[in-house]
Amino acid sequence: MTQRPLPSTTARQRLIDWYHEHHRALPWRETRDPYRILVSEIMLQQTQAERVVPKYHEFLARFPTLAALADAPAGEVIRAWSGLGYNRRALNLQRACRVVAEEYGGVMPSDPGVLAKLPGIGPYTAGAVACFAFEADVGFVDTNIRRVIHRVVAGPELPEPAMTEREVIEVARELVPAGQGYVWNQALMELGATVCRTRMAECARCPLERDCRARPLVQLVLATMPRSVAKKPERFESSNRYYRGRIVAALRESPDGVSLRDLGLALKPDFDDADADWVIGHVVGLVRDGLAVRGVATSAGAREDSPAYDAGESELDELIRLPD
Ligand code: SF4
């Protein structure tokens, strides 16, 4: 149990009241279907809510149930994930649904400890599904919840956090008001997403203003926060993720597969045989992650599965495609 003073019951109720009045209408807040909640939580990892909304509707129109997603060819799931990036999330979502279909009779477990054992599901997603689908009184931490808890309980998180991750999780668990886990966690996340943001804290309209340890300092800290605090991002166009995304996009367009040479040319207009290792390196990573499969172009033009990049002079003729 933390030694830090925590917001009172009255303060917590104030945040809940604020949520009821001000929260954004988001489609995953209108359901308790565990499959739909899981889809939304996986989509919301690394992608903003506004961008997720149309993809969420499209994806559920294509795969309306856990069984439909579990039974679909992986390539179709990767195609339906188009526009969301981080394609591995799509495969992990499907793998989790397949385990639920095969080992739990298609019924999503409600215990966060069991959920956390499903493929690609970490402690945050497990807590979120238990809470938002089954209304369990559990505490968990994402970036928004972490920031709000840190500021309210320990002051600004900059220049150095005053709380360890373990302590933030402990506080998140202690703060959940009995019987109100759903609305409490939604409220913390909503406050972090719309009012108490990374670079801007709108304390004057915050329901926790009177109870927040960061309140006297946060504006000064954020105003003087050097831009260089944030690690200079790698130029996206030169990043591994960029090329992986481009390759998967090319494969989505070509159900019969694309040769390594054509993939190379799609990525780099001046691609030539000397770049073979470079394009193969990207493809190997995708194959390892289950996002692509390899085959070879035979003399008759048909494709056979191929276990290794050992085709010698013709290696760039090898066809790559999405998994079945
Ligand atoms: S008072 Fe300011 S710093 Fe504290 S939680 Fe509210 S917005 Fe964040």
Please tell me whether residue 76 adopts helix, strand or coil conformation.
helix
Q: What is the pLDDT of residue 148?
A: 98
Q: What is the pLDDT of residue 309?
A: 41
Q: For a ligand 1 pocket test, name from 18, 203, 219, 222 the mutation site with the most ligand atoms within 8 angstroms of its C-beta.
A: 203
Q: What is the pLDDT of residue 126?
A: 97
Q: What is the pLDDT of residue 47?
A: 87
Average pLDDT over residues 133-159: 96
Q: What is the pLDDT of residues 176-232, one digit of tens each?
A: 999 999 999 999 999 999 999 999 999 999 999 999 999 999 999 999 877 655 555
In this prediction the pTM is: 0.81
Q: What is the pLDDT of residue 229?
A: 54
How far, in Å, is the centroid of ligand 1 from the Cα of 213? 8
Buried b (16+ CB within 10 A) or exposed e, 129-156: bbbbbbebbbbbbbebbbbbbbbbbbbb
Q: Regarding predicted confidence, which is higher, 298 or 109?
A: 109
Measured from CB, residues less than 6 Å from any atom of ligand 1 are 148, 151-152, 195-196, 201-203, 206, 208-209, 212, 214-215, 218
Active-site residue list: 41
Q: What is the pLDDT of residue 36?
A: 98
Query: Mean pLDDT in the chain?
Result: 89
Task: Using pLDDT thresholds of 50, 70 and 90, give the confidence band for residue 298.
Answer: very low
- Please determine, for residue 257, whether its predicted confidence score (pLDDT) is greater than 50: yes
Q: What is the pLDDT of residue 234?
A: 56
Which of 73, 69, 64 has the alpha carbon at shortest distance from 33? 64
Q: What is the pLDDT of residue 307?
A: 42
Question: From CA 146, how far away is CA 299, in angstroms rounded?
Answer: 58
How far, in Å, is the centroid of ligand 1 from the Cα of 2? 20
- Please determine, for residue 101, whether its predicted confidence score (pLDDT) is greater than 50: yes
Average pLDDT over residues 69-91: 93
Question: From CA 226, how far away is CA 34, in angstroms rounded?
Answer: 42
The string of DSSP letters for 153-218 reads HH----SS-SS-HHHHHHHHHHHPPTT-HHHHHHHHHHHHHHTB-SS-B-GGG-TTGGG-TTTTTH
Q: What is the pLDDT of residue 261?
A: 84
Q: For a ligand 1 pocket test, name from 19, 175, 202, 206 the mutation site with the most ligand atoms within 8 angstroms of its C-beta.
A: 206
- Please determine, for residue 35, whether its predicted confidence score (pLDDT) is greater than 50: yes
Number of the ligand 1 atom closest to the C-alpha atom of 213: 4
- Please determine, for residue 303, whether its predicted confidence score (pLDDT) is greater than 90: no
Closest C-alpha to ligand 1, atom 1:
209
What own/partner pairs with CB < 8 Å and gap ≥ 24 does 242-249 have?
243/267, 243/282, 244/87, 244/282, 244/285, 244/286, 244/291, 245/85, 245/87, 247/282, 247/283, 247/286, 247/292, 247/320, 248/78, 248/87, 248/286, 248/291, 248/292, 248/322, 249/82
Average pLDDT over residues 243-269: 85
Q: Provide the CATH number for the domain formed by 237-321 in this structure.
A: 1.10.10
The ranges assigned to domains in the chain are 9-223, 237-321
Question: From CA 261, how far away is CA 316, in angstroms rounded?
Answer: 5
Question: From CA 11, how far away is CA 6, in angstroms rounded?
Answer: 10
52-61, 129-138, 229-238, range with the lowest pLDDT: 229-238
Task: Using pLDDT thresholds of 50, 70 and 90, give the confidence band for residue 112.
Answer: very high
Q: What is the pLDDT of residue 59?
A: 98
Number of the ligand 1 atom closest to the C-alpha atom of 206: 6
Q: What is the pLDDT of residue 237?
A: 62
Closest C-alpha to ligand 1, atom 8:
196
CATH architecture type of domain 9-223: Orthogonal Bundle (1.10)
Alpha helices in the chain (DSSP H): 9-22, 34-44, 49-62, 66-71, 74-80, 88-103, 112-115, 123-134, 143-154, 165-175, 181-194, 218-223, 240-253, 260-267, 276-288
Q: For a ligand 1 pocket test, name from 6, 195, 199 the mutation site with the most ligand atoms within 8 angstroms of its C-beta.
A: 195
How far, in Å, is the centroid of ligand 1 from the Cα of 212? 6
Whether 9-223 and 237-321 share one fold: the answer is: no
Number of the ligand 1 atom closest to the C-alpha atom of 148: 5
- Please determine, for residue 105, whether its predicted confidence score (pLDDT) is greater than 70: yes
Average pLDDT over residues 130-156: 97
